[in-house]
Amino acid sequence: MTDLMYRPGAPARPPAGNRHRRPAPRRTVLHAVPLIAQVLIWGGAAGVLAMWWADTASVVGPAGWLTGAGRIAGLLAGYACAVLLALMARIPLLDRAVGTDRLARWHAMGGRYTISLVLVHTLLILWGYALTGRTGVLNETATVVLHYPDMLKATAGFALFVLTAVLSARAARRRVSYETWHYLHFATYAAIFLAFGHQLANGADFVGHLPAQVAWYALYGTVAALLCWYRFLKPVRAARRHRLRVAEVRPEAPGVVSVYMTGERLDELRARPGQFFRWRFLTPGLWWSASPYSLSAPADARFLRITVKGVGRHSAALARLSPGTRVWAEGPYGGLTPDRARAGKSLLLAGGVGITPLRTLFELLPGDTELIYWARRPQDLALRNELDAVAAARGARVHYSVSHPGGHALPLTSQTLTGQVPDIAERDVYLCGPPGMTEAATSALREAGVPRGRIHHESFAF
């Protein structure tokens, strides 16, 4: 059996590989990235509108107004498609500074706007063309689809857009598995590819306007390059370079196991405390799914560790992994890192298996750090020996709260938090746990005077 660095009960130390890592980007830069990203996104939208304005001499009559509005909606929809793909390209700087879950929310909100723009564009253009040609909307639709360049492909792309929108609706998401939804979501790539040609072939703002065509090719070409590199080529390159394999599976608590993985040159991954990977275990029943799990111990040059609770079919199957199983790891991802800290001291709030990303932060966050950990029973406090060892080694404090037996629970209220940590309003707070717990904790923290910008949370609900 491979001798592993992290043993329950052993004092945890920052691994030697951390000392030689490339310095992290300055925190002020990371804090500015979300604002810069939004300025660039809205600035690009303004540029698209300016392109329409410069190319439109006048708008006359109902047909002109309908067609003009349809052109605007189409231009914005085409631009929004590129933005949506860029948000999900897993660009490291954007992912770390904004956060994976926040990017997913931007993507979801942008997707709703995009499908609305696509529908408006289709309706208004066909209506405007019908008024101009003095034909019915159905006849005009048949003419456009069958006789305009690239419109058959664009129609297929439109159908895929609508299908993706339906499957992304909340009611539909509850009826399909995450993996099924995830793979069906790739249909948007095909939809955008199919629709791209008709923009340049039929768009009045592109036909005969070389600068506009060059700008559009540059926009989509850049996004395509980012997607190909970060979503496909880089993970394959990392798998070949690091050659991850399962070294050991170790029970930590009822239904909770730690999976230790070994590989080559793992320090080159530059994983930060609090980050996660998308793990694909190449064994029957698991190879088709890449699931996100946080590192539960500081990474070093030879080992990575995750700690997982068996709450679903995939996570429960990890307890049965055999040593030697090959692993693909995409990442690291996520912005729940020390780079988010604004104050010189921190408070970590963990619920259940939410302790996993906070375990590494508890060891490596600089300054005065405290941890409060909620679980149902004492035996459910995963990694407790390690947490106690870290607390003793760095002089930090850790508070445990269990619901059973009675009398040992800390209510998740502002009064309780202030009583345990009197200077809570002066701290950065890192939060990870079940959705109900995180919502209650956020409300209690705000009531206790913690500024919203100092409450750091990241979920895997994407």
Predicted pLDDT of residue 20: 36
Using CA atoms, how far apart are residues 226 and 276, in angstroms rounded to an integer? 20
Among residues 342, 226, 333, which one has the least CA distance to residue 290?
A: 333
The pTM (predicted TM-score) of the whole model is: 0.81
DSSP letter at 205 equals T
Among residues 164, 137, 138, 327, which one has the least CA distance to residue 249?
A: 327
Amino acid letter, residue 2: T
Using CA atoms, how far apart are residues 372 and 180, in angstroms rounded to an integer? 36
Predicted pLDDT of residue 208: 84
Angle CA(135)–CA(141)–CA(145) in degrees, nearest 5? Answer: 135
Angle CA(230)–CA(238)–CA(309) in degrees, nearest 5? Answer: 90
Q: Classify burial at 136, counting beta carbons within 10 Å of its beta carbon; exposed 0-12, middle 13-18, buried 19 or more.
A: exposed
Predicted pLDDT of residue 449: 94
Using CA atoms, how far apart are residues 117 and 113, in angstroms rounded to an integer? 6
- Location of structure tokens 């492909």: 153
- Location of structure tokens 């390159």: 237
Predicted pLDDT of residue 241: 94
- Report the first-to-last Cα separation within the chain, whole angstroms: 37
pLDDT tens-digit readout, 437-461: 999 999 999 999 999 989 999 876 5
Predicted pLDDT of residue 17: 34
Using CA atoms, how far apart are residues 71 and 52, in angstroms rounded to an integer? 8
* Kind plus residue range of the DSSP H or E element containing 414: helix 414-420
Amino acid letter, residue 224: A
CA-CA-CA-CA torsion sign (271, 276, 280, 286): positive
Structure token digits, residue 189: 């790539």
Using CA atoms, how far apart are residues 7 and 9, in angstroms rounded to an integer? 6
Q: Can you give the residue ranges of every domain in the chain?
A: 27-236, 243-333, 338-457
Predicted pLDDT of residue 13: 39
Predicted pLDDT of residue 189: 86
| Other Cβ atoms closer than 10 A to 189 | 14
Among residues 249, 216, 215, which one has the least CA distance to residue 4?
A: 249
Q: In a 3-state reduction of DSSP, which class is residue 450?
A: coil
Question: 26-46: b or e for each residue (b if 16 or more CB lie within 10 Å)?
Answer: eeeebeebbeebeeebeebee
| Other Cβ atoms closer than 10 A to 362 | 27
Using CA atoms, how far apart are residues 382 and 377, in angstroms rounded to an integer? 10
Contacts of 233 (CB under 8 A, 6+ apart): none
- 209 φ, ψ (degrees, to nearest 5): -120, 90
Q: 338-457 adopts what CATH topology?
A: Rossmann fold (3.40.50)
Predicted pLDDT of residue 461: 58
Predicted pLDDT of residue 203: 85
Using CA atoms, how far apart are residues 236 and 1, in angstroms rounded to an integer? 28
Which residues of the chain, if any, have pLDDT below 70?
1-28, 170-174, 176-179, 181, 407, 460-462
Per CATH, the number for 243-333 is 2.40.30.10
